[in-house]
């Protein structure tokens, strides 16, 4: 039986309630030609973070990354490189309805070589590029580790 992710999560939640679950997601640090990072102001929390999201059940990591970035920004990735894999307590997300999810996030980096047209979807209130010294204060707590690494020019692949 094949489940769509929303149906799968719903079925898991019907069994475990608000108890913590594990999920795998992807994110991408997208830099423009001026070296600024693309951040998305999320419609669910109002916080800023890197574009990305959950993998579908049968999806490969790079397929999910391409899909999520296209859905949330309108961009097609050309050459994403691994930036890091993040997990643990720092990747626990407490949803407003009481659900708790511990994410394993596979983060990539992509450097754009030309100007782009960004497209908002229902998950984004805003998409904007920011320089390293002008990152907004209200960054999603789960995204802070890789954004801080990017800010300090730390491009060594991290497993955390």
Residues 15-69 have pLDDT tens digits of: 999 999 999 999 999 999 999 999 999 988 899 999 999 998 889 999 999 999 9
The domain ranges of the chain are 18-159
Q: What is the third-level CATH fold of 18-159?
A: Nucleoside Triphosphate Pyrophosphohydrolase (3.90.79)
pLDDT given at position 6: 67
Biggest distance spanned by C-alpha atoms of the chain: 48
> What is the number of other CB atoms lying within 10 angstroms of the CB of residue 23?
18
On whether the CB atoms of residues 152 and 101 are closer than 8 A, the answer is no
What is the pTM assigned to this prediction? 0.92
Q: What is the pLDDT of residues 70-128, one digit of tens each?
A: 999 999 999 999 999 999 999 999 888 899 999 999 999 999 999 899 999 998 999 99
| Closest of 150, 28, 39, 13 to residue 95, by C-alpha | 13
């Amino acid at each position: 039986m094949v489940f769509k992710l929303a149906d799968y999560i719903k079925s898991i939640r019907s069994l475990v309630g608000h108890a913590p679950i594990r999920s795998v997601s992807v994110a991408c640090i997208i830099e423009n030609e001026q070296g600024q990072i693309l951040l998305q102001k999320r419609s669910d929390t109002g916080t800023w973070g890197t574009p990305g999201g959950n993998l579908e059940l049968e999806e490969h990591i790079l397929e999910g990354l391409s899909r999520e970035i296209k859905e949330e920004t309108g961009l097609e990735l050309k050459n994403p490189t691994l930036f890091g894999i993040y997990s643990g307590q720092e990747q626990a997300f407490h949803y407003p309805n009481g659900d708790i999810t511990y994410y394993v996030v596979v983060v990539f980096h992509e450097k754009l070589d030309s100007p782009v047209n960004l497209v908002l979807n229902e998950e984004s209130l805003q998409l904007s590029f920011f320089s390293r010294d002008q990152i907004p204060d209200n960054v999603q707590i789960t995204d802070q580790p890789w954004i801080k690494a990017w800010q300090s020019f730390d491009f060594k692949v991290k497993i955390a």
